[in-house]
Amino acid sequence: MKEVMILTGAGQIGMAIARRMGYGKKIVIGDKNLKNALAISKIMNEAGFDTEPIEMDLSSRESIQNMIQKAQSLGEISMLVNAAGVSPSQAPIEAILKVDLYGTAVLLEEVGKVIKKGGVGVTISSQSGWRMPALTQEEDELFATTPTEELLKLPLLAPENIRDTLHAYQMAKRCNEKRVMAQSVEWGKRGARLNAIAPGIIVTPLAIDEFNGPRGDFYKNMFAKCPAGRPGTADEVANVAELLMSDKGAFITGATFLMDGGATASYFYGPLRPE
């Protein structure tokens, strides 16, 4: 039986990482929209990969467990690529917290119970969480270690404390990164590693929607005024994933890798600094 990679979120970033790291493996592609999973699966299968598309809802523990069971029926799970999530323009506050924050926490926990020795995972976070004011040490610890089923009941996520969908998204991504730290300790007990990547603006169909949407000028200004002077590509995210998921990254776990063309640096110390 083959080793299995689980890919959640059938989009450009997830596919780029799966193409870079998934050769020779069985790749289970889970997405809430089965059409998306089928489309990515077809592209990859026609390029020589071995994929299995399934419907998977990141906001449901049962759905995540069903996907893991399916993966285990095909072989030992050795890789996780979590690129699933919803953006601030796509979903209301409640959905962002349920999918991006709670769902990611459940996925890391559930895969961490079964990942094989020497296995590795990456989850896609976002530069967005890096521009939010620092949380207290206590709040960070709550994000890192609160039992998953109690996460959404945390006072700092109460409706009166979340300003808008962007703030919800930033909180979710901050939680993802703290969760990766805490879960990497659990994964380590199985001899496995777990990291996060926080990309900046990456050109995908979703990003193109954003460029043409109400926040389009904001995004165009951001990549024009960052040191790189351009948005990134999904393959550049895969470059970082390749480091983190290969033997070259054997000493890296519990980390988040910010790759945003310098947008965060520019936000704090350059022309993107808020007035």
Question: Catalytic residues, which ones?
Answer: 169, 173
Report which of 32, 150, 29 is spatially closest to residue 91, judged by C-alpha positions.
32
3-state secondary structure 83-147: CCCCCCCCCCHHHHHHHHHHHHHHHHHHHHCCCCCCCEEEEECCHHHHHCCCCCHHHHHHHHHCC
Report which of 256, 244, 248, 130 is spatially closest to residue 182, judged by C-alpha positions.
256
Report which of 18, 25, 21, 71 is spatially closest to residue 44, judged by C-alpha positions.
18
Residue that is written with structure tokens 């089923």 in the block: 149
Secondary structure (3-state) at 182 = helix
- CA atoms of 172 and 113, how far apart (whole Å): 22
- CA atoms of 266 and 200, how far apart (whole Å): 12
Q: Are 96 and 165 in contact (CB under 8 A)?
A: yes
Enumerate residues 6+ apart whose C-beta is below 8 A from 62. Answer: none
